[in-house]
Structure 1
Amino acid sequence: MVIDIDAHLVQPPTRDRILPGIPIAEHIDLTGLSNGFHTLAVLAALRGQPSPAEDTSTLRVRTPSGGLHVWYRAGDHRRWQSSVGSSSGRALAWQVDVRAHGSYIIAPGTSTQQGAYRPVGDVREPAPLPLWLSQELERTGHLPAASIPAPRPVPPRARQAVLAAGGRQEPQLLASILAPVESCGQVAEGAGFSDALNRAAYTLGGLIAAGRLPQEEAERVLKETAITARPGQEHRIEQIVRSGLTAGLKRPLYDNGRRP
């Protein structure tokens, strides 16, 4: 697997596409964030890890355009999927591509019309894929769902529980929050599941912070709905829900629909 870090001079996307599945509040100043080195460094810092761009334990290759290929060895035989950092679907971070199964990469030492692909440092072999990075790749949909059964509707008890959690004043609101997550269950993969689940968790976090929902019940039912839509992805779901709720809890969502 290769983490392909780009340094293209293009305008940054909207905040929700910089680190897919991780909300970036409006008050956070993004001045200076302009390429994949920056976004990958931010993601790594959020996880308390060094950026792969600085990983001297593995093979790294400088590209003619100023980017960097960081090579890793995925030893668990899972079929990791590729992605493009500018994609509105599966992506690890803006301007960070993932080259894996079904993709290709230019070998170190190759010279093209654009220039040479030169190894950086002394290491010439890929190191094992770091655990935290594999978890981020899994969170952002870089693994196909294994043995996904036929789509199932959300169990009536889950819908009833979430409606009851909100009391009589919030049933339509809660149903609308769950609907995008539930609808992802109509297809085996894709459909923007990570983004839908993250938005739902963020919104529920705001409602909980405003005292409009009990946290334990709302969190339980959201996870239950997500697991029904994507069976076998419990770890990924847990990470997305935790991240979204944490961000939403910091910004209460009151009856007027506004956050402070």
Structure 2
Amino acid sequence: MTSPCELQLYCNDEHKARAIAKKIMIMAKRLENKYNFYNPDSYLSELNQRKTDVLDTQTKDLLTRAKLFYKKTNGVFDITMGTLTQSRKLETLKQIEEASQRLKPFLGVEHFKIKKNRLTFNNPHTLIDFGGFVKEFAVDQAVKILKKEKITTALVNFAGDIYALGLKPNKQRFSIGIKNPLNPSEYLTSIKLSNQALTTSASYERSHKIEEKSFSHIISSSNLQDEILSATVVASSVVEAGVFSTALMIKPQLETKLEKLLILKSLKLLRS
């Protein structure tokens, strides 16, 4: 992963702890290499370039879940947003807008189908990007490894995608600080977790400017709203939390029964 990844696990056997950490690191690196959208030699790129249509079990599962989350978020969370990525490489706003309008008809998971272990597209333009999915999936996989190794207390944090396993040794829940989006060195509040996942999406985290217009790393077919600075979601899995925290940055009024915390431009906190 290109972002900082942290693993805290509680184990009386240091050798075992290091072996588990190494196993998790290898797993995360394998996922990164396999599903790297920008690496032309990755397995995902081979699918996008139509060089192969063969799906392994893991990829078929991810694509199936992505279709499900597309439906659950009313189309807000869409792994085919990678289709618009090439437009962001252009130099002027006019070029970006023209390219975006040309490519928008090819957005949506309805443009690809899964038939047994085969992936088919109905056009040559739709691209799949697991960028908002794989890091979260890696954390969930790390938790599976920890449970298999009989670890009962751990905190996995892959660049803010977090899972708290069990309770701390003092029998207290893990306390996760929520940053001030306008001053990330400051924390506005905290959320306590035990056997739960938490992710935060924020448009300020990674962005670039073209002709003085800022573009967030969160790619959407519509303009990102600017009233919400960050969205934090608590769920049973990191993938689900990540999907909804991203979706809420695009559509804050999206309905979900998951625990969420939105931070407004005024720094007001909205909990539900």
Smaller-chain TM-score bracket: under 0.3
Q: TM-score, normalised to structure 2's length?
A: 0.22
Q: TM-score, normalised to structure 1's length?
A: 0.23
More strand by proportion, 1 or 2?
Answer: 2
Give the structure with higher Rg (CA).
1
